[in-house]
Structure 1
Amino acid sequence: MVTIEVDGQELQGPAGAMLIELTDKACIDIPRFCYHDKLTIAANCRMCLVEVEKVPKPLPACATPIMEGMKVFTKSDKARMAQKGTMEFLLVNHPLDCPICDQGGECELQDLALGYGRDISRFSENKRVVADKDIGPLVATDMTRCIHCTRCVRFSEEIAGIRELGATGRGENTEIGIYIEGSMQSELSGNIIDLCPVGALTSKPFRFTARAWELVQQPSIAPHDSVGSNILVHARGSQIMRVVPDRNESINEVWISDRDRFSYEGIGSDDRLTTPRIKTNGVWHDVEWQVALQAVADGLRTTSADQLAAITSPTSTLEELYLAQKLMRALGSSNIDHRLRLGDVRDQDSAPAFPGLGCSIADLESLDAALVIGSNIRKDQPILAHRLRKASNAGAELHFINPVDFDFVFSVANRLIIGPAGMVGATAAVAAALLEANGKSVPADIRNLCTASEVDQGAKAIAGSLQQAPRSMVFLGAIAESHPDYSVLRSLACTIASECGGQCGYLPQSANSVGACLAGAQPHRGVGASTVSDSGRGLAALVEGGMSGCVLLGVEPEADCDDPAHVIAALEDCGFVVSMHAFTTETLEQVADVMLPIAAFGETSGTFVNAEGTWQSFSGVVPPRGDARPAWKVLRVLGNVLDVEGFEYESSEQVRDELHRACEGVGTDTSQHGNCYTTALDVGLMRVADVPIYSTDALVRRSPALQKTGDAASFLARISHAQAAQLGLSDGESVSVVQGDARQVCTVVTDTRVPESTVWLSCGTAKAAMLGASIGPVSLEKGSGEGML
């Protein structure tokens, strides 16, 4: 350790540490603009100049390494003169925009100008003016205010992993701009709003809507993926105005995805359901809560228990999911499921208690090698992708087995890009290579799954990397979860993890996928993943076998399910359907008999359990709109109306604590698996569908800003150039996509990322919802459908 003295105070730090790091820990304030603890050092703003004994000129604290015996003065005349001189130069060209600037009241330049600026400017020349840049629907620019700290430039390159922003020109002609005109491509782009120390980069949806001092701030948890990013929700009155990150080094550090930042816009959608409604003779009527709840109770009472079901959203809170399954099981039914996109349940009894990450989120950075099967992790889990990028930058080798060659922001050592039918074989090839490398015989079941020789070299390279890595992991992603052979992929992934001395983990799709398993919102297991004597039917079995009564909790069947068309058809045949949701849709109005308005994000309290198993509770920030009520309260009162015991809760905390006690001692081993090696998917032309980043849940689908980005869902059939030539198709041509009994017309796009025998057609659009499962046989018919291709 090195000992130094700062303003007469003795400090210690590791050799090589920068002076500003020690002063920050000691709460010694040094002004700065360009320095940020998560970015590399630029030392270009010069605001942190300090005096160092025996050094003739002031030095930047952010770029000065500490040395034994160093004496530093941060408030001496020399230091103050240097800092005031820097501030004067920064203000020379800065516009007097404070009264109209969105950054006013929380501006670093504004704060420091008060302490280090002159009362009267000595500058009498014209100020420079910089043309604003259009960098997309999320971030607004006022580049005349830019002070060239380059935080945004460094962020885009070092954190986001995409060189989108840069500096051009010299001296006062320097400008920060985007290299390619148009929208920024990063799913983390909104973080430059927080990084910008002035008002040059601000939130476009928030622009000119409120002042910082008008807002009330409350911590919460992002509801869109399994990371559980910590956020701060800013509200004015009864309206949420914006969302910003809250620092939590072990989860999201100081970053959040654009999905977490801008989804709040969906709360005020025209689709909001604010009054209970009952359908009579095909016509919807607004009713009082007592009438609606009694109608629901009567409908559930008259439904046979074995024909009663609950389909719940994995974005619901832990308390809501727990009460929903408790109510269903009290009525004699275990037909409850939250696994809306699960493609295969053959090995569900031998699966882990919950689909956890298998390590802490922070530990992803320390991996030496990882194999990810079936995941566009950059879009599915942006914060986890950032952690893997840090691992890659530190030398980790990352490998992917995918049906599409997705774009990533980190180096990928090996990619096995093969159609859905070949994913099992490619994974089996890696398992076989590892077994052989360990001197073991390859079981016939695995050997029979191995694909053609073209993946052998890649499989052996992946196996060698995993085997040699001191710390390795295998992850199953969202596409793997939707695969008809998910059970086989799980068995193979666990075999690979075991043979390389690593762990098998999961990349859960939703905010509470883990919590839903712990809450017992699945047919084959109860609370705390306990065994149930009366195992019920899951979603696929319910769709196949039919239902007489169904409760939908936060579910939009046309957008949230893997096979929307068949789910909608089953609900249409159902005798009594209750929808508990914050929004209404045409499909829900078509299939439901009663609609109960529940609170949306920011309007209710609850708990999410993230991928690493951390329970994170939050409170409501604003009151629910209209007559909407928190779903846990609706379920509690419904239990009272039905005379069910154990529904005397007075707060969501009571519900959470009851469940937490029941979950004590739940196993965390994510490598449990069955021995399923029988494939269910045939060869041939196959559709593969990912869920676009801004189509994952009801809130993001209703955010106008997010739906204007390039990542918004589009209905395009992407095929390889070779496949297009074989089928006689060309870019921009119209084709009919036929999947089962469904047919939809869309546009063909040739894409080098798509392998042969594969049609990449994403979920998230109304037309896509009318097709079949996300992975399955498909055919293309040219034009209006004449002549099968």
Structure 2
Amino acid sequence: ALEVAAESLRRVHQKTGGSSIGSLCTPTATLEEFFLLQKVLRGLDSSSIDHRLRQQDFRDDPLVPIFPGSRTPVTSIHELDAVLLVGCNIRKELPLLALRIRAMTQRGGRVGALNSLQYDFNFPVAHQVTVPPTGLAGDFALLACTLAQKLQKEVPGWIITLAGTVDVAPEAEDLAEMLLSGDRGSLIVLGQVSCTHQNSSRLRSLAFWIHENCDIGTVFLPDANSAAAWLAGCVPHRGPNGVALSEPGFDARAMVEERLRAYILYGLEVDCDYAEPLQLSEALSSADFVLSFSCFRSAVPAQADVVLPVAPFTEIDGTYVNLEGRFQTSVSAVSPSGQARPGWKILRVLGNLLELEGFGYVSADEVAREIAVPVLPAVGRGTTYQDSDQHDEDGRSPALVGKGNRVCRIMDIPIYETDPIVRRAPALQATADATVARVHVDLKHLTSLGLSAGDKVRVSGQDGRVILPVKVDDRVPAGSVYIPGGCPETAPLGSSSHVIIEAEV
């Protein structure tokens, strides 16, 4: 199988060039797998490699830090005065950090939340602002304006444009007062929803501006082992150790839009792990060659020409990088089953079969030594994010409320739908956090649609439609519905920001 894969990739390279080959990789891979995968791709003259499978907005790629994370030590978070969560369900995304924040509140610190859903936190929330996803950037920009006014800072025009107003709202006033009170510092945490938001570059740029101008720390929660992927060069515009590339490849979204001739899928499940599953499936169908690395036969797409079984994290040695840039190494608990092998070993052999240089590694540790955390400048230093093509729209558009049966969709990836392993874990799927695919809507909106709890509705997104039951959920703001992602039942909707709801007859 490895020989067939190498020959097929070589044939595509000779026929249409390296730029026609791309790779999508799970963010749960190890540092060693990220590094060797990008080394194979770049050995084939391609930089089209990405692990940011659910991200939709890549406009600020050249400006973001070396890796997502925090310059505020996790061990000092409990000493802060305030934390603001933006597009973040911290209790499920990073439970250990949630415990630090809980300890902060026990010491008198305060927490604010700017979300599209009222999440259940394990600590008191002093100020909770809930807005539809289409209003998230606008309300965050309004907070930036309020902070600037309190500190007598000049507000850039692009922030005023995003805010859509210069009038201070009571909610923004409360959050600003919370962040600026005390002398022990405060922190803004951007989570999964912020990262996968259709205008995530706006949210990041606002966070950077607030950090630089208001002396408020910023944390970008990495997706799984995403920090390692950035450091290893598993992104299209940077090589290992954060070195910028003069000729970037295609990002995860562009790879699918460009309809490449060959795809290497590493550890992902097409229906559940990519932002637009139907579009990816179409791209795979039109490709000349598809190579799939997978721990599960059931996660392999039908379009795969060659499948290479990789061992799961419990059966391999590997390195993980936390949000502070700390390397953490794990060792295999058991030997790989059947014909499965550690991913780094398979990639090493593939590189040798392709006659690429530098694939003589004999241990995972030898691979890991290729990567080091660079000396980092202050987060966001020297980046202004004032490019006119990025900030020329009102952060509250399109319309915040549904028109008729067209409504704004709130989406996140529940904790036990984040990767193929947890989706197949019977014990996890038996817990209260297991996903039941439903349309969550507040009672008033449900009544206006002429529906009752338990009714089945047809939900149409930008690429497909599904039939789901309705559930009353008062956490959902008016004019919106919450439909989780990451599960097969909602995959046809992709990352649709708006959906059409119709009663199923």
TM-score range, shorter chain: over 0.9
Once the two structures are TM-superposed, the CA of residue 779 in structure 1 deviates from its matched residue by: 1.1
Equivalent positions of 1:717-728 (< 5 A) are: 717-728=439-450
Give me the whole-angstrom Cα distance separating, in 1, the residues matched to 2:209 and 2:127.
19
Give me the whole-angstrom Cα distance separating, in 1, the residues matched to 2:228 and 2:434.
28
1:501 match: 215
Distance 1:377 1:496, change over 3 A: same
SS in 1 for 2:23: strand
Once the two structures are TM-superposed, the CA of residue 319 in structure 1 deviates from its matched residue by: 0.8
Q: Is the 8 A contact 1:734 1:783 kept in 2?
A: yes
Give me the whole-angstrom Cα distance separating, in 2, the residues matched to 1:385 and 1:341.
23
1:600 match: 312
Once the two structures are TM-superposed, the CA of residue 753 in structure 1 deviates from its matched residue by: 0.4
Equivalent positions of 1:357-756 (< 5 A) are: 357-450=70-163, 456-470=169-183, 471-510=185-224, 512-585=225-298, 588-660=300-372, 663-667=373-377, 669=379, 674-675=385-386, 676-679=390-393, 682-683=398-399, 684=402, 685-756=407-478
SS in 2 for 1:741: coil
1:312 match: 25
Q: Is the 8 A contact 1:577 1:594 kept in 2?
A: yes
Q: Is the 8 A contact 2:146 2:168 kept in 1?
A: no
Q: Is the 8 A contact 2:310 2:341 kept in 1?
A: yes
Distance 1:729 1:678, change over 3 A: farther
Give me the whole-angstrom Cα distance separating, in 1, the residues matched to 2:5 and 2:157.
58
Equivalent positions of 1:109-120 (< 5 A) are: none
Q: Is the 8 A contact 1:472 1:500 kept in 2?
A: no
Q: Is the 8 A contact 2:81 2:181 kept in 1?
A: no
Q: Is the 8 A contact 1:735 1:745 kept in 2?
A: yes
Give me the whole-angstrom Cα distance separating, in 1, the residues matched to 2:90 and 2:212.
23
Once the two structures are TM-superposed, the CA of residue 452 in structure 1 deviates from its matched residue by: 7.6
Q: Is the 8 A contact 1:354 1:668 kept in 2?
A: no
Q: Is the 8 A contact 2:278 2:463 kept in 1?
A: no
SS in 2 for 1:616: strand
Larger-Rg structure? 1
1:759 match: 481
Q: Which has the higher helix share?
A: 2
Q: Is the 8 A contact 1:355 1:670 kept in 2?
A: no
Once the two structures are TM-superposed, the CA of residue 303 in structure 1 deviates from its matched residue by: 5.1
Give the alignment partner of residue 499 of structure 2, picking from 778, 782, 786. 778
Give me the whole-angstrom Cα distance separating, in 2, the residues matched to 1:454 and 1:478.
29
Write the letter of the residue equivalent to 1:506: F
SS in 2 for 1:607: strand
Counting matched residue pairs gives 492
SS in 2 for 1:602: helix
Once the two structures are TM-superposed, the CA of residue 701 in structure 1 deviates from its matched residue by: 1.1
Write the letter of the residue equivalent to 2:385: G
Distance 1:668 1:626, change over 3 A: farther
1:62 match: none
Give me the whole-angstrom Cα distance separating, in 2, the residues matched to 1:393 and 1:303.
61
Gaps of 5+ in 2: none
- TM-score of the aligned structures, taking structure 1 as reference length: 0.60
Q: Deviations for 1:27-76, whole angstroms, at most 9, x for unmatched residues?
A: xxxxxxxxxxxxxxxxxxxxxxxxxxxxxxxxxxxxxxxxxxxxxxxxxx
1:345 match: 58
Q: Deviations for 1:441-482, whole angstroms, at most 9, x for unmatched residues?
A: 433322232268998111111111111232111111100011
Once the two structures are TM-superposed, the CA of residue 600 in structure 1 deviates from its matched residue by: 0.8
Once the two structures are TM-superposed, the CA of residue 399 in structure 1 deviates from its matched residue by: 0.8
Once the two structures are TM-superposed, the CA of residue 422 in structure 1 deviates from its matched residue by: 0.7
Give me the whole-angstrom Cα distance separating, in 2, the residues matched to 1:306 and 1:294.
17
Q: Is the 8 A contact 1:426 1:455 kept in 2?
A: no
Once the two structures are TM-superposed, the CA of residue 300 in structure 1 deviates from its matched residue by: 5.6
Q: Deviations for 1:226-249, whole angstroms, at most 9, x for unmatched residues?
A: xxxxxxxxxxxxxxxxxxxxxxxx
Superposition RMSD in Å: 2.0
Q: Greater relative contact order: 1 or 2 (C-alpha under 8 angstroms, separation 6 or more)?
A: 2
Q: Is the 8 A contact 2:242 2:374 kept in 1?
A: no
Q: Deviations for 1:181-205, whole angstroms, at most 9, x for unmatched residues?
A: xxxxxxxxxxxxxxxxxxxxxxxxx
Once the two structures are TM-superposed, the CA of residue 374 in structure 1 deviates from its matched residue by: 0.1
Q: Deviations for 1:744-779, whole angstroms, at most 9, x for unmatched residues?
A: 111111211000121100013212111121x51211
SS in 1 for 2:66: coil
Give me the whole-angstrom Cα distance separating, in 2, the residues matched to 1:571 and 1:729.
39
SS in 2 for 1:690: coil
Write the letter of the residue equivalent to 1:699: I
Once the two structures are TM-superposed, the CA of residue 505 in structure 1 deviates from its matched residue by: 1.4
Give me the whole-angstrom Cα distance separating, in 1, the residues matched to 2:87 and 2:444.
23
- TM-score of the aligned structures, taking structure 2 as reference length: 0.93
Give me the whole-angstrom Cα distance separating, in 1, the residues matched to 2:497 and 2:65.
26
Distance 1:770 1:673, change over 3 A: farther
Distance 1:498 1:446, change over 3 A: same
Write the letter of the residue equivalent to 1:354: F
The percent identity for this pair of structures is 37
Q: Is the 8 A contact 2:437 2:489 kept in 1?
A: yes
Q: Is the 8 A contact 1:420 1:483 kept in 2?
A: yes
Distance 1:667 1:578, change over 3 A: farther
Write the letter of the residue equivalent to 2:375: G
Give me the whole-angstrom Cα distance separating, in 2, the residues matched to 1:555 and 1:741.
20
